[in-house]
Amino acid sequence: MEFNILFYVGLLLCFGIIGALVIRKVKLPAVTGYLIAGLLIGPHLSGIIPESAVESLSFLSSVALGFIAFSIGAEFKMSYFKRVGLTPIVIAILEALCAVFFVIIALLLAGFDAPFSIMLGAIAAATAPAATIMVIKQYKAKGPVTETLLSVVAIDDAVALIGFALATAVAQSITTGGQGNIIASLVDPILEIVMSLGLGAILGMLFIVPFRVVKGRSNRLTYTIAFVLLGVGLAATLGISELLLCMAFGAVFTNFYNKSEEIMQIADEFTPPLLMIFFVLSGAELNLAIIPQIGLVGIIYVVVRVIGKVAGAAAGAKIMKASDPVVRWLGPALIPQAGVAIGLSLAAERIVPGTGSTIRAVVLCATLIYELVGPAITKWSLTKAGEIKTQG
């Protein structure tokens, strides 16, 4: 028997709270408790939450990602970039490229063919901002590593999209005997990025205008929710990146409205239950049964991607003469991987149909591993960097 969808929303929240309380006993981040709770009650284990309910509630994940991206964008203050310069951009590019090239080279050395290795390697660039943001908020992390991390995970999304487009063109060129047009293949993702950022900037400017007349916390919260929903809905309708659009929205807002911090505090009062639902749902989508399917290729991807992220972040930080904590502890905090990578794996299935299902299985399994261990490693990294002062 299936219940009304609101019953399942209540279950997600209840089990999310229980998961957070239990996981706190072993001093792990709450997001890990949410994911494990979702895994346990999801359709692939106990079936308490049926697959139909998970699918019906998927729109809440998009809304949560919209708010996460909006809050990341709000950290993109011009004063910050004037202080740090190109450091986050260089680090984001190098950590993404190192992950890509390390995975590609390892797969080629293991005997896998070039198109397959290139497509799977390209997906290694993607990093998931959601779990990172939750850890930072829970422990109130603050310092140069945290600042740089927020910027890098935001920029990483754009880098991953461009890198995947280039890899797609190269893989298709090899498959078709050199008939692919690499330049033409880059046009669509670049247009997507430009459209996402441009529309997000316009939304940010429009968002500011009525604040002279929109007074009171409840009205301002309602107004903020409305604009984030408009952004997410616009991105879905146009087929562009909701993450990039909402990041640009938040960045323009925070740089052109001098009371933006007050609005972000109001928004933060609304988002905790939404984010809890997002992570419990994410856990419910994880399927332990896929782990035996990945074999050698999965082990290479999971391990070598981490090595590439850590090495690339350290190299970028050293080149830009960042502080020693950034050089040492930024890389491990970039391990989580989720939504963007899964989306790219779907595209890879169409590009290399013969082995596309293997790519998807590997990425799904890696997502399961990275999402479960990533938050704990992010917490550990920020603690080692001295930016988490209290344990909880």
The pLDDT value recorded for residue 16 is: 92
Domains of the chain, start order: 58-384 (1.20.1530.20)
* Cβ-Cβ contacts under 8 Å for 274 (sequence gap 6 or more): 60, 63, 64, 67
The pLDDT value recorded for residue 44 is: 85
The pLDDT value recorded for residue 186 is: 63
- CA angle 314–312–34, rounded 5-degree value: 90
The pLDDT value recorded for residue 392 is: 47
Low-confidence ranges of the chain (pLDDT < 70): 1, 175-186, 293, 339, 343, 346-347, 349-357, 390-392
pLDDT in tens, 24-57: 888 778 888 888 898 899 898 888 999 889 888 8
The pLDDT value recorded for residue 177 is: 61
Record the pTM.
Answer: 0.73
The pLDDT value recorded for residue 33 is: 87
The pLDDT value recorded for residue 135 is: 87
The pLDDT value recorded for residue 324 is: 92
The pLDDT value recorded for residue 279 is: 83
